[in-house]
């Protein structure tokens, strides 16, 4: 099967969508499909990938690749990348990794248009049940995978009784809520160390907040970490905190932490609870007091952490890269067979 993946966000970007689409592309190749990724993200060729990457294709080149493919897969509805289907009939499969609305929940005309166009998709795939419920069209739920060849437990790393945050330092990710929760715990005589992995435009403001709350000695600001350095850092901590203020569509970071032996304390809205599964605790989005209570339970109850991690193997197995690729392939093959079968019947 020849698959064209249109994903404006892609490697070498470091976001969840970029990494997830690369995982899907590689997984489909492993199963025997030919895959080309069309993206607007700059880079240097294929960079050793087992699939072809076309960067910033012009209209003629994009149309040529749509003619080449047997199924056209978009990562989120892209109005700019959809026009070739007006010229070339190909099965259109859309996977949804972000909400079709503004950060405050409002919908503008672009959001409404994307939702309307979904009625014409051959397949709609949501990364969580919360996302599927929001779309308004029948959608298969295929949870995101994590890079199971990379994220794993390391035997030679000493795990401490400490917290770690991993993500961009932007307001939606809720680091300010986490700092407020640490201040509450400090008032109760509990001062767990926190390692902050990531960077972003809110870093200066967050550092000022930490100083104002008297938390400087508890915090280690590590900046961005990737690959083996990130795996080692996660293995050195007991609790991964994902305090997002907005509803995460899914939350691959939770799977990465669980695979490295952390339990997860995360906000309950959206699809993040699906990613955490039985391996952590949740709290209402934005509630610093509830977060402080969950962290206190996680830090002071080693047997609780053991019970939560007992479910990790089966939970992680359901989110393996191969499991995800096989599920996507089933959906794609179904629409290709339906389209070719319909064409044969029409021709007969």
If asked whether residues 7 and 131 sit together in one domain, one would say: yes
205 found inside a domain: yes
pLDDT of residue 292 exceeding 70: yes
Degrees, nearest 5: CA angle 271-273-276:
120
pLDDT tens, 112-146? 999 999 999 999 999 999 999 999 999 999 999 99
If asked whether residues 12 and 32 sit together in one domain, one would say: yes
How many whole angstroms separate alpha carbon 334 and alpha carbon 317? 24
pLDDT of residue 328 exceeding 50: yes
191 found inside a domain: yes
158 found inside a domain: no
How many whole angstroms separate alpha carbon 68 and alpha carbon 84? 12
pLDDT tens, 41-65? 998 767 789 999 999 999 999 999 9
If asked whether residues 168 and 82 sit together in one domain, one would say: no
If asked whether residues 194 and 312 sit together in one domain, one would say: yes
DSSP state of 251: -
pLDDT of residue 98 exceeding 80: yes
If asked whether residues 242 and 276 sit together in one domain, one would say: yes
305 found inside a domain: yes
If asked whether residues 113 and 182 sit together in one domain, one would say: no
pLDDT tens, 209-263? 999 999 999 999 999 999 999 999 999 999 999 999 999 999 999 999 999 999 9
156 found inside a domain: no
If asked whether residues 297 and 284 sit together in one domain, one would say: yes
pLDDT of residue 301 exceeding 90: no
What pLDDT was estimated at residue 342?
A: 55
If asked whether residues 91 and 218 sit together in one domain, one would say: no
Q: Which domain holds residue 54?
A: 2-145+320-347
155 found inside a domain: no
153 found inside a domain: no
What pLDDT was estimated at residue 47?
A: 72
If asked whether residues 140 and 98 sit together in one domain, one would say: yes
If asked whether residues 10 and 135 sit together in one domain, one would say: yes
The dihedrals phi and psi of 201, each to the nearest 5 degrees, come to -65, -15
CATH of the domain at 260: 3.40.50.2000
Q: How many domains are contained in the chain?
A: 2
pLDDT of residue 14 exceeding 90: no
If asked whether residues 170 and 71 sit together in one domain, one would say: no
Average pLDDT of the chain is 94
* Residue of 72, 28, 74 lying closest to 51 (CA atoms): 28
Burial 107-131 (b: 16+ CB within 10 A, else e): eeeeeeebbeebeebbbbbbbbebb
51 found inside a domain: yes
If asked whether residues 113 and 189 sit together in one domain, one would say: no
pLDDT of residue 347 exceeding 70: no
How many whole angstroms separate alpha carbon 145 and alpha carbon 322? 8
């Amino acid at each position: 099967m020849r698959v064209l993946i249109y994903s404006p966000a892609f490697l070498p970007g470091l976001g969840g969508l970029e990494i997830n689409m690369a995982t899907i592309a590689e997984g489909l190749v492993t199963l025997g499909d030919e895959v080309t990724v069309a993206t607007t993200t700059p880079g240097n060729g294929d960079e050793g990938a087992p699939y072809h990457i076309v960067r910033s294709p012009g209209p003629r080149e994009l149309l040529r690749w749509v003619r080449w493919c047997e199924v056209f897969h978009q990562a989120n509805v892209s109005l700019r990348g959809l026009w070739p289907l007006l010229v070339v009939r190909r099965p259109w499969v859309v996977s949804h990794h972000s909400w079709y609305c503004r950060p405050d929940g409002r919908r503008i005309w672009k959001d409404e248009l994307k939702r309307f166009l979904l009625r014409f998709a051959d397949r709609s795939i949501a990364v969580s049940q919360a996302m599927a419920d929001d779309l308004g069209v029948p959608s298969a739920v295929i949870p995101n995978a994590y890079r199971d060849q990379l994220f794993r437990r390391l035997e030679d790393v000493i795990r401490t009784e400490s917290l770690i945050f991993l993500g961009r330092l932007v307001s939606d990710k809720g680091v300010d809520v986490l700092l407020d929760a640490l201040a509450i715990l400090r008032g109760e005589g509990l001062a767990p160390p926190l390692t902050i992995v990531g960077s972003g435009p809110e870093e200066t403001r967050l550092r000022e907040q930490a100083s104002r709350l008297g938390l400087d000695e508890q915090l280690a600001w590590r900046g961005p970490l990737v690959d083996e350095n990130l795996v080692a850092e996660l293995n050195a901590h007991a609790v991964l905190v994902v305090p997002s203020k907005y509803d995460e569509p899914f939350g691959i970071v939770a799977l990465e932490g669980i695979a490295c032996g952390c339990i997860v304390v995360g906000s309950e809205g959206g699809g993040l609870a699906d990613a955490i599964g039985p391996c952590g605790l949740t709290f209402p989005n934005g509630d610093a007091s509830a977060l402080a209570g969950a962290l206190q339970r996680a830090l002071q109850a080693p047997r609780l952490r053991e019970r939560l991690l007992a479910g990790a193997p089966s939970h992680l197995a359901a989110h393996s890269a191969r499991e995800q690729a096989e599920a996507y392939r089933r959906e794609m093959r179904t629409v290709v067979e339906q389209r070719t079968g319909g064409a044969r019947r029409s021709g007969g």
